[in-house]
Amino acid sequence: MSTIISFDYAIKYLLKDKGDYEIVAGFISAILKDAGYSSVKIKALLESGSNKENDSLKSSVADVIVEDEEGHKYIVEIDKSYTNLFNA
Protein backbone atom coordinates (compact mmCIF):
# COMPACT_ATOMS: atom_id res chain seq x y z
CA MET A 1 0.00 0.00 0.00
CA SER A 2 1.35 3.42 -0.90
CA THR A 3 1.63 6.22 1.62
CA ILE A 4 -0.49 9.30 1.05
CA ILE A 5 1.22 12.61 1.76
CA SER A 6 -1.08 15.44 2.78
CA PHE A 7 -0.84 18.83 1.11
CA ASP A 8 0.15 20.73 4.25
CA TYR A 9 3.10 18.43 4.91
CA ALA A 10 4.20 18.58 1.27
CA ILE A 11 4.29 22.38 1.35
CA LYS A 12 6.13 22.38 4.68
CA TYR A 13 8.67 19.98 3.17
CA LEU A 14 9.23 22.32 0.21
CA LEU A 15 9.68 25.27 2.56
CA LYS A 16 12.68 23.56 4.21
CA ASP A 17 14.84 24.49 1.20
CA LYS A 18 14.97 28.08 -0.09
CA GLY A 19 15.61 26.64 -3.55
CA ASP A 20 12.02 25.33 -3.53
CA TYR A 21 10.41 28.64 -2.51
CA GLU A 22 9.61 29.43 -6.16
CA ILE A 23 7.40 26.33 -6.35
CA VAL A 24 5.37 27.40 -3.32
CA ALA A 25 5.31 31.07 -4.40
CA GLY A 26 4.06 29.99 -7.83
CA PHE A 27 1.24 28.01 -6.26
CA ILE A 28 0.26 30.91 -3.97
CA SER A 29 0.48 33.36 -6.90
CA ALA A 30 -1.81 31.20 -9.04
CA ILE A 31 -4.47 31.21 -6.34
CA LEU A 32 -4.12 34.94 -5.64
CA LYS A 33 -4.25 35.85 -9.35
CA ASP A 34 -7.74 34.31 -9.54
CA ALA A 35 -8.74 36.86 -6.89
CA GLY A 36 -7.16 39.78 -8.79
CA TYR A 37 -3.82 40.01 -6.96
CA SER A 38 -0.39 40.15 -8.59
CA SER A 39 2.35 37.51 -8.32
CA VAL A 40 4.19 37.13 -5.02
CA LYS A 41 7.59 36.12 -3.74
CA ILE A 42 8.23 34.51 -0.36
CA LYS A 43 10.09 36.90 1.93
CA ALA A 44 10.12 35.02 5.23
CA LEU A 45 8.75 32.07 7.15
CA LEU A 46 6.98 32.56 10.44
CA GLU A 47 7.15 30.01 13.22
CA SER A 48 4.96 27.08 12.28
CA GLY A 49 3.20 24.42 14.27
CA SER A 50 2.52 20.73 14.00
CA ASN A 51 0.25 18.33 15.86
CA LYS A 52 1.43 14.72 15.81
CA GLU A 53 -0.33 13.28 18.86
CA ASN A 54 -3.41 11.94 17.08
CA ASP A 55 -3.26 10.55 13.52
CA SER A 56 -6.86 11.46 12.76
CA LEU A 57 -6.29 15.08 13.84
CA LYS A 58 -2.75 15.38 12.49
CA SER A 59 -2.08 18.74 10.90
CA SER A 60 0.76 21.02 10.01
CA VAL A 61 0.60 24.78 9.61
CA ALA A 62 3.05 26.90 7.66
CA ASP A 63 2.84 30.70 7.71
CA VAL A 64 4.80 32.67 5.14
CA ILE A 65 5.22 36.37 4.51
CA VAL A 66 4.88 37.14 0.81
CA GLU A 67 5.39 40.37 -1.11
CA ASP A 68 3.59 41.22 -4.34
CA GLU A 69 4.89 43.18 -7.33
CA GLU A 70 3.66 46.47 -5.82
CA GLY A 71 5.52 45.90 -2.54
CA HIS A 72 2.46 44.93 -0.48
CA LYS A 73 3.18 42.26 2.12
CA TYR A 74 0.76 39.54 3.21
CA ILE A 75 0.80 36.67 5.67
CA VAL A 76 -0.35 33.44 4.04
CA GLU A 77 -1.29 30.47 6.20
CA ILE A 78 -1.05 27.05 4.60
CA ASP A 79 -2.78 24.23 6.41
CA LYS A 80 -5.04 21.29 5.85
CA SER A 81 -8.69 22.11 6.24
CA TYR A 82 -11.91 21.09 4.61
CA THR A 83 -14.37 23.28 2.76
CA ASN A 84 -17.31 22.68 0.50
CA LEU A 85 -16.68 25.88 -1.45
CA PHE A 86 -15.01 23.98 -4.29
CA ASN A 87 -17.68 21.33 -4.84
CA ALA A 88 -19.15 21.35 -8.32
pLDDT digits (tens, 9 = 90+) for 9-35: 788 888 889 999 999 999 999 988 988
**pLDDT tens string 44-57:** 988 765 555 555 55
Handedness of CA 69, 74, 76, 82 (dihedral sign): negative
Q: What is the pTM of this model?
A: 0.69
CA distance 45 to 75: 9
Give the rounded distance of the alpha carbon of 55 from its chain centre.
21
Rg (alpha carbons) of the chain, rounded to whole number:
14
